[in-house]
């Protein structure tokens, strides 16, 4: 799910209430969710982000980006977010430092562990293309 907040027309509380309803429905349907966006909610400002973080926690959702995503002079803020309710996997996430924009690109990798029980179910074909030429 990709979300965007126009910080000039929507207040953080209105966004929190909307996202809370969406995440509540997703969790009640036992579905997985990954959401990302520039929310302009400064995660490194506890006063500004407390209600947002509490709402995420109440919906069993983890915020994956914790490093600055926007740097402007001496100001460092965490306003670009990735969150998920997929909690039973290893997650590697962060921001890529670049001078292309004042916002850093953000990323997240989910490291799923796939277990196989019966190796006879695995079909393989080995091709040796070198012998053809």
Is residue 85's pLDDT more than 60?
Answer: yes
Q: How many CB atoms lie within 10 A of CB 129?
A: 6
pLDDT digits (tens, 9 = 90+) for 1-51: 656 555 555 677 888 898 999 999 999 999 999 999 888 889 999 998 999
DSSP 124: -
Residue 131 has pLDDT above 60, yes or no: no
| pTM of the predicted model as reported, rounded to 2 decimal places | 0.75
Task: Name residue 45's beta-bridge partners.
Answer: none
CATH of 2-132, one of 3.60.10.10, 3.40.1800.10, 3.40.800.20, 3.40.50.1950: 3.60.10.10
Residue 133 has pLDDT above 50, yes or no: no
pLDDT surpassing 60 at residue 64: yes
The two three-digit tokens of residue 18, written as one number? 């909307």
Q: For the chain, give every domain's residue range.
A: 2-132
pLDDT at 118 over 70: no
């Amino acid at each position: 799910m990709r979300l965007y907040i126009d910080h000039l027309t929507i207040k953080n509380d209105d966004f929190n209430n909307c996202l809370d309803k969406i995440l509540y429905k997703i969790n009640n349907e036992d579905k997985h969710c990954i959401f990302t966006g520039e929310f302009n909610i400064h995660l490194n400002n506890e006063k500004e982000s407390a209600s947002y973080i509490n709402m995420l926690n109440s919906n069993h959702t983890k915020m994956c980006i914790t490093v600055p995503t926007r740097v402007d002079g001496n100001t460092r803020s965490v306003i670009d977010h990735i969150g998920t309710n997929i909690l039973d996997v290893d997650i590697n996430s962060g921001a890529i430092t670049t001078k292309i924009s004042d916002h850093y690109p953000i990323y997240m990798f989910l490291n799923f562990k796939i277990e196989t029980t019966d190796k006879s179910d695995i079909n393989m074909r080995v091709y040796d293309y070198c012998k053809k030429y």
